[in-house]
Amino acid sequence: MSDPTPDTEDIPQKPTNAEDAKTLKALSNLDTHSSLDDSSTPTASSNSANAEALAAGLSSLSVGTGKTADAGVKKVVVKVAAEDVAVIVENMEVSKVKATELLRANGADLKKTLKAMITPSA
């Protein structure tokens, strides 16, 4: 007759991106370090094993390290004049926050910002 086909749950699926791969690695690390005894009361050794597994899993995820992919890129701080913000708020009927954001996006240049606001985008 025909060969039995395995269930889809039996076939391990490979992660599609790096984040999923890290998560899978951390989870498998936790699975390999989990205690095998079925006792309802955990012992000190199983607690320490669980703590070590948790620490290893979190370290492989690099959660909370504060490092980002663009750590070397410095953000440029653009100072915006309050008068320019007031002109945009009064004439273009936008909020102060939006006016400040638009000015920063255009290098704090009022003429360039106004031109960008009235020019239709493609």
Q: Name the residue type at position 39.
A: S
Pick from 4-8, 18-22, 68-72: least confident: 68-72
Residue 16 has pLDDT above 80, yes or no: no
Other C-beta atoms closer than 10 Å to the C-beta of 6 total 8
pLDDT tens track for 40-83: 555 666 777 777 777 777 666 664 455 555 555 667 788 999 99
> Which pLDDT score is estimated for 19?
77
pLDDT tens track for 98-115: 999 999 999 999 999 999
Q: Name the residue type at position 15.
A: P
Whether the CB-CB separation of 28 and 39 falls below 8 Å is answered with: no
